[in-house]
Amino acid sequence: MRIGELATEAGVTTKTVRYYESLGLLPEADRTASGYRSYDGAALERLRFVRDAQATGLSLTEIRSIVELKDQGDRSCEHTRELLHRHLHELDEQIERLRVARAALAELASRADDVDPADCTDPHRCQVIEGSVA
């Protein structure tokens, strides 16, 4: 199949296909006599894998490391497991930072609810935010 068909089947753009190929995520396509790229079903499966792996939060570099293991005939399960656990840990840390930020914002919003606008006399500062950052 040609690049447009491959891209459509995988749900990506032709530009994405070319980019993934340039990064080594897809093997270089065969060329027809007229110079068009020609892809087979294996390229479609690889492209779908890259797309799905990226949707899990893996970076293209991480995906390439999995693809390279596969291309060498190695099993990638342990490597993939480590990558996913690292991302899970990073996500948990990010969620905790968001919880802390949300609590601080909720406190500030509550403070804003209790402020009397008539008391706001400083033309340069908002009394709600004044002194709220520690």
| Mean pLDDT for the stretch of residues 63-92 | 95
67 residue type, one letter: V
Q: Do residues 47 and 12 make contact, with C-beta atoms less than 8 angstroms apart?
A: yes
* pLDDT (tens digit per residue) in 90-113: 999 999 999 999 999 999 999 889
The pTM for the full model equals: 0.74
What is the dihedral angle through the alpha carbons of 91, 96, 101, 104, rounded to the nearest 10 degrees? 170
**In whole angstroms, what is the distance from residue 90 CA to residue 9 CA?**
33
What pLDDT score does 22 carry?
A: 94
**In whole angstroms, what is the distance from residue 79 CA to residue 73 CA?**
14
Average pLDDT of the residues of the chain: 92
pLDDT at 125 over 90: no
